[in-house]
Amino acid sequence: MSQLHSELAQELYSAQIKRTPVSPLIARHRELTIDDAYQISLKTVALKTAAGERIIGKKIGVTSEPVQKMLNVHQPDFGFLTDTMHHPDGSTISLAKSQLIQPRAEGEIAFCLKQDLKGPGITAEQVLDATEWVAPCFEIVDSRIEDWNISIVDTVADNASCGVFVISEQHTDPKSLDLAAVKMVVKHNGKDAVEGVGAAVQGHPAQAVAWLANTLGEYGIEFKKGEVILSGALAPLIDAKSGDHFSMEIEGLGSCSVSFCD
């Protein structure tokens, strides 16, 4: 099975570089489990780090009911963030240079850690205690699987459909407000598009981060001081294309924006 993991990791890595999606993995290898998918993801990330990328954080995805319904995936996924995925707030991102194939924008809350965390047994309160700041974030998810026809195995293997991300320069103490109650509004090309609240992700964004810490802890992976953790979309995803501009406002946290070009 290890050989298959390596082959599928190389396939996904090549798909990103060539910007050419592949058919669903689970349709071709029905024996694959989530554990297999995680091993494929680790091997894909290893290819990225071998090419010079550096892991700077982790992400949880598919946490809210609207996103689960949209993708027909009914449990959270998880993946790794690298330095090349990060773009400054207000950036115009080239779809080609960033190797995006079929991107979608989602608004969420990013956490930056001031101390290590390793599950299992991590609680939401421990997450808040370990967090230096939170900020509005656009994650631009992408899939190397054709037409976003994904199962939980496909998205975990594909590094949780990671694309790129943009984090606001406005940073807030997570204990200064109720993150479950904050409201987010996302504008697409100047018009209100979607909205959501912090409670959309497992009742509280810190609870989602705790879930991720505990899930990764089962694989011996810990959160590191200084890492960024993306806690999951607060509202449905929006297709992104060249010429699009997205902005968001999260009450109490601030704003964030991103645009796209060819």
Domain ranges for the chain, please list them.
2-261
Predicted local distance difference test score (pLDDT) of residue 69:
75
**Residues 256, 108: contact at Cβ < 8 Å?**
no
Between the CA of residue 191 and those of 185, 186, 195, 235, 243, what are the distances in Å? 10, 8, 12, 15, 14
Quickly tell me which residue has 């449905």 as its tokens: 236
What CA–CA distance (Å, rounded) separates 190 from 119? Answer: 41
Q: Using 70 as the pLDDT threshold, list the residues of the chain that sit under it.
A: 63-64, 66-68, 70, 74
DSSP codes of every residue in the chain: -HHHHHHHHHHHHHHHHHT--B--HHHH-TT--HHHHHHHHHHHHHHHHHTT--EEEEEEES-SHHHHHHHT--S-EEEEEEGGGEEETT-EEETTTTT-SS-EEEEEEEEEESS-B--SS--HHHHHHHEEEEEEEEEEE--SBGGG---HHHHHHTGGG--EEEE-S--B-GGGS-TTT-EEEEEETTEEEEEEEGGGTTTSHHHHHHHHHHHHHTTT--B-TT-EEEEEESS--EE--TT-EEEEEETTTEEEEEEEE-
Q: Which residues pair with 117 in a beta bridge?
A: 223
**Residues 208, 202: contact at Cβ < 8 Å?**
yes
Predicted local distance difference test score (pLDDT) of residue 66:
67
CATH no. for 2-261: 3.90.850.10
Predicted local distance difference test score (pLDDT) of residue 206:
96
Other Cβ atoms closer than 10 A to 74: 10
What CA–CA distance (Å, rounded) separates 172 from 55? Answer: 23
Cis upstream peptide for 24 (omega within 30°):
no
